[in-house]
Structure 1
Amino acid sequence: MGYTCIDGEMVIVPEEADVVRKIFELYLQGLSFGQIKMYLESMNIKTVTRNEHWDSSTIQKMLKNEKYKGDSRLQKTYVEDVMTGKKVKNTGQVSSYYVKDSHPAIISEGIFDKVQKEMTRRSRVVYKEDGTVEKTGKRYTSKYLFGNILECWYCGAAYRRRAERGKVVWRCGTRMESGRDTCGDSPTLNEEWIKEILARNICEDRIYDEEIVRNKVDRISVFNKHIDKIRI
């Protein structure tokens, strides 16, 4: 929603772009995905496929879609079988690429980043059945550093540590609490692999040093089987 393709170029559709901006605005005003869905339907605003009913998960995906700030992630899917042309989701089988300013933006980078931070904040607030609220995932409250800085690109939840078959892995907290169906695209990461990535990109002499990572890294967003963005 918000774009059309003309002569191979992405062009903004003004009426649809207004809907996209409204969705971002409503989320920053405090509305949930479900409340935004109800608002859009009450205003008789149709989806890009002209459906009268919105899906909360679609709204969530829109709010996380980097295309709205003018950027593109290439090769989110790839052709698995050249004979059939079947496309599948790229979960690390082939390289993916991030391109900034690839097309006109509908949402400013500032607004987009505010929404991502708000998603992370909300993911660390748990509403219990008795109506009480519990905050989780505060910075450096866990004895494990990665539990404070790894976050799921898909749902914004913090990653959690788990020992499996003699190895230490990290997995999306939403997926661990509510099952694979709630955040099925989030990958499980081997702790040693994470350390190797950070050693190459953050640490001196490419040797992993937790103190250096603790002092330099604010947040790591995990997309597919890649560390998508390291905020320092």
Structure 2
Amino acid sequence: MTMDRSAHSRLAVTYRRISSLNQVDNNSMCAQEQAIKDYAKKNHLKIVEAFHDLAKSGTSVQNRTGYQQMMEYLEKHPEVTCVLLHHLDRLHRNVRNQLNDIYTLKCKGIAVITTDGLNSMDEDCMSEILDEAASAEKYSRRLSKETMKGLRVNAEQMLHNGGLPPYGYTVGSDKKLYIDEAKAPAVRKMFEMYAAGMSYKQIAQWLDDNGFTTVKGGKFKSTSIKTILENEKYCGTYFWNKRASKDFRGMRNSHQQKEDYYQVHGAIEPIVSEELFDKVQERLHDNKNRIRSYNGKNYYPLNGKVFCGKCGKKLSGHVQYSRTSKNNAPVKQYRFSCSCPAVKTVNEKYLDDMVINGLRACIFSPENYEELVDKLNAYGKIQERVIDLQIEVLRSDKENAEKRCSNLMDIAENGDGTKSIIDKIKRLDKRIAKIDRRISDYEAAKKVFTAEDIDRIRDRFTEYVMENRNEDVLGFLEDTVDRIEVDDTVRVHLKKNICVDRETKKGFRQERSIKK
């Protein structure tokens, strides 16, 4: 129902907008505000509320908080009869949106008025309003084309095309991307952990535990981690203009991508290898349909690798509560999703013990000890470089904290030591002590492996793999176990690079003596 606004015909709201913070011409915020105030004073209009949007495009209403707040305000305040603008293009640079708003507001008795005399309630102005709306959209489209030309020139030279650089990179004076060695270890770890089967939550926890934060200093979330994992710049591929174009409404779906966009392989120094990047993309693609290695709080190490030997369908982790044992104790099982076998489940402990103890025998055979020691120490050297970079970051944080603490102590010694300053000094002291502890922990993590260490790892191997859901375990199982087929017998197929002796091979093929 249209409200009666005739009794309050002198109340107005204002709206201002600039497309860029660099605008300093006649459309700058101050110029718009002054022109609107002068017009309101001259025409006896009372401004009751002002709305604005900074650095927002007029081609759509997305992300224009000020515009949306104004429209909501007009719905709640029927006494307002006009919207004051400096020029019509401040409201929209899209003909469809412009005319829709003018018509909608006109039906409610609200006039759209500009400081150069256009009034949507005046029929004599409508032809000029149509011309202004069309000119505004034409200008926007022409400007967009010219901007795209400049961006394309930058892209052809593999230059950074504005905005924040990807996490782990910095922009040099030549506008090219260079690796930020303080943040790059975090990026590598994200890719390694995800490729090993870890969840976003576990990756975010590791980043938080190791002092890595986002560019804005916040904690990493699942969305920010996923964005990093999907960015092909990390494997050295430069790309531009990847997102789908805006639709007829001026809106864009950021999840849609063009099939053919500008890209150059090997144009950027990579943080991760193409092999690791491709492995992560494969997991991202399959993640929705993949059976997870856990079900709620229950962990199933071999989930996703156990198949029916007859039809090939996957078995999934399941908890069965025993009717015969005391306290109705839960029994973890792998359950068939098909109708092939007569018995629908396989005892999880039986299957896991068989596979993991077999792998233990393969890996820790005496002839492998020397190679294991060499590989562990080679891996340890890589981790040492990561640790050194993390220590460097911590020492820089410590230095900054010590400087702040010293400055505050100088203030306190001069007799200006208020309680808030004393509290800040105490907090900084605690922070410095915490950084020292973390540096000591990192230094202690450096290690040279020996055959005795291999013995200790072997002794704990089965228990560790069975009970721990972390990147090491999931990565190990991904790299070693190909698939397990279960019907009347259990057949374990390992990856081609795993050598199996005759005795162990017998253990990898057993009759299903334990059914449940």
* TM-score between both structures, scaled by the size of structure 2: 0.23
Larger radius of gyration: 2
Give the number of the structure whose residues are more often helix, by fraction: 2
Give the number of the structure whose residues are more often strand, by fraction: 1
* TM-score between both structures, scaled by the size of structure 1: 0.47
